Structure 1
Amino acid sequence: MSDEERKIIISRVSEYRQDESGQYQRVPVSPVNRWLTYAILIPVVAIMIVLGIFFFAAFLALLAVAILVVGTRFWWLRRKYENSMQHPGDANRQAETDQTVIIEDAQIIEETEARNEQKKH
């Protein structure tokens, strides 16, 4: 490939040409090419905007669901914590309602202790 062919390729890529005085001047673009470029770019930009709006909306929906799940979890933990921090007068009532659970746990412990003592003897 000769130097002249390289100059032409470089000139077409950069859209600038060097004239006899050594100054670079921009190559004029035909109006048909300019309008053809606009006709192609407008639908592409419109499609990109629509896709951007769609994905942004999907991201916001996922963010809202995540906030809802985390908020519900914190509400549940706070409610559980507040129920555990009851007034002393409520402790007797709580003990009465949990009495069966305490008895069942005590029975299991007693049975386990009895079995361990039988194995030792």
Structure 2
Amino acid sequence: MNDNHRKIFIHRIIDDKQSESSTNRSTPGSPWQRWLFFLALIPLFIGAMLLGMVFFSIFFALIVIATGAIGVRFWWLRRKLQKSGKFEEKERSIDIEDAEIIETKTKKSEYK
């Protein structure tokens, strides 16, 4: 009973898709145009790579500087504590005691 409504709706969708595809079609260019396009992409790719390397080197330099600053701070605090006498590096002696190894043998059963 309601099939007419569905047919109209489906027909409208199909017609809209056909009209969209006809307006958005792009014709492929000649091989020369494609080669020129790819040749133009090469300098853009090289520029993007160089820009990426610049930003990576800046980021890496900041990490190295921050790590060095933290290391110098720890060294300075350790030196300051050693001068005040509160920090003493004690030599720890380790006593090694003789240990006895006990072996136990188990008798394997003859039945498997």
TM-score range (shorter-chain normalised) is: 0.5 to 0.7
In structure 2, distance between residues paired with 1:84 and 1:77:
11
In structure 2, distance between residues paired with 1:60 and 1:4:
54
**In structure 2, what is the equivalent of residue 67 of structure 1?**
67
Counterpart amino acid of residue 73 in structure 2 = R
Shift of 1:30: 2.5
Shift of 1:6: 2.2
* Cα RMSD after superposing both structures: 2.7
In structure 2, distance between residues paired with 1:3 and 1:78:
75
Counterpart amino acid of residue 8 in structure 1 = S
Gaps of 5+ in 2: 1-15, 88-112
**In structure 2, what is the equivalent of residue 93 of structure 1?**
none
Shift of 1:32: 1.7
Q: Deviations over 1:19-78 (max 9, x none)?
A: xxxxxxxx7552122112211210100000111111111111111111111111010011
1:51 aligns with 2:65: no
**In structure 2, what is the equivalent of residue 9 of structure 1?**
23
Runs of 4+ in 1 over 6 A off after TM superposition: none
Length, aligned pairs only: 72
Normalising to structure 1: TM-score of the pair? 0.49
Q: % of aligned pairs identical?
A: 38
Counterpart amino acid of residue 54 in structure 1 = V
Gaps of 5+ in 1: 13-26, 88-121
**In structure 1, what is the equivalent of residue 34 of structure 2?**
34
Normalising to structure 2: TM-score of the pair? 0.52
* Higher RCO (CA < 8 A, seq sep 6+): 1
In structure 1, distance between residues paired with 2:19 and 2:40:
30
Higher helix share: 1
In structure 2, distance between residues paired with 1:3 and 1:66:
58
In structure 2, distance between residues paired with 1:32 and 1:9:
25
**In structure 1, what is the equivalent of residue 103 of structure 2?**
none
